[in-house]
Amino acid sequence: MAISRELYRERRNKNLCTTCGEPAQANKAMCLKHAKRILEKQRATTNKRISQGLCSMCGKNPPAPRRERCQQCLDVKKLDSKINRTPLIRQRIKNGLCTSCGKSKTTPNKLCDECSQKYNASARLKEQQRKIDNLCTKCGENPPKINRRKCLSCLEIDRQWRNQPEIINKTRGKRQKLKQEVMNKYGGKCNCCGIKELSFLNIDHVNGNGRAHLKSIDKEGGHRFYRWLLANDSSSEFQVLCFNCNMSKHLSGGTCAHKLNTFGV
């Protein structure tokens, strides 16, 4: 039964259910009973429209490819999100809340663990579908460049973003911190000569075959390999060496010149 605008506002101001006048849920317009009823009705309408091949929002137009809403409703949602949701997201970031659900989180990320898992799963499915359709995995509009996942336009946008001085410095700082954590895990100094200068150090495969190992774990070295090392307990398979000792070990057939007590290789 419809109610007048005045009665609606009165109930809202008194924190009462706008439908029945009973106490409403905290920060909600309805009591739990009527909120569930409205939700069930909305879900039934949505499922009916989807089964009929119509937009789940307006129920008038066919949906966009691989979407439940038509392109017009998607554009409206995007504009509404930009106008109304952006201030909300900024406020949640300021308060240390999840930007998606608004609940408290234990990680420094923008999303809580639950929302992060949902987002990652959705992003992976979207990326896989775009690969199947031979489209850019970022914009989903243009074909990708040969042997790449993104189109030329998106690759250029990424390049310009990465080359900003503040981004370069931020990325370099994060990777230096990551490298320091890995080196500390394996002793923090060269296992042969004892040098501790971080810029001289790198991770060595004790038994060799480093290239084959990196290929087997699908890592290219660098920060990706460092993250893998922190997540896996393989202390007996790796060691810290400086670049000189690592090269000397390679040229000497597996043993550094320091340990061979020679001055050349």
Residue finishing a domain among 12, 30, 52: 52
Domain that holds residue 197: 177-260
d(CA 55, CA 37): 22
d(CA 204, CA 221): 11
Backbone angles phi, psi at 183, to 5 degrees: -65, -40
What is the DSSP-derived secondary structure letter of residue 233?
-
In a domain, 223, yes or no: yes
d(CA 237, CA 216): 15
Check residue 265 and give its pLDDT.
Answer: 42
pLDDT digits (tens), the chain, 265 positions: 678 889 999 999 999 999 999 999 887 889 999 999 999 999 999 999 999 999 999 999 999 887 889 999 999 988 888 788 888 899 999 999 999 888 888 888 899 989 999 999 999 998 999 999 999 999 888 999 999 999 999 999 999 999 999 999 999 999 999 999 999 999 999 999 999 999 999 999 888 877 787 777 776 667 888 888 888 876 678 899 999 999 998 888 888 888 777 554 4
In a domain, 241, yes or no: yes
Q: DSSP letters of 72-91?
A: HHHHHHHHHIIIIIHHHHHH
In a domain, 225, yes or no: yes
Q: Write out the two tokens for 203.
A: 């991770």
Residue finishing a domain among 52, 71, 90: 52
Contact indicator for 204, 241 with CB cutoff of 8 Å: yes
Check residue 262 and give its pLDDT.
Answer: 58
Number of H helices, E strands in the chain: 11, 2
Indicate the number of domains in the chain. Answer: 2
| DSSP E strand stretches across 165-251 | 201-205, 238-242
Check residue 109 and give its pLDDT.
Answer: 86
In a domain, 10, yes or no: yes
**pTM to 2 decimals?**
0.52
According to DSSP, the residues that pair with 104 across neighbouring strands are 97
In a domain, 143, yes or no: no
Contact indicator for 175, 223 with CB cutoff of 8 Å: yes
In a domain, 228, yes or no: yes
CA-closest candidate to residue 15, choices 37, 3, 30: 30
Residue finishing a domain among 37, 52, 67: 52
Check residue 210 and give its pLDDT.
Answer: 77
Helix/strand/coil percent split, the chain, to 5: 50, 5, 45
Q: How far is CA 239 from the centre of its chain?
A: 31
- Residue at token pair 């010149």: 257
In a domain, 77, yes or no: no
> In this structure, are strands 201-205 and 238-242 parallel, antiparallel, or unpaired?
antiparallel
In a domain, 149, yes or no: no
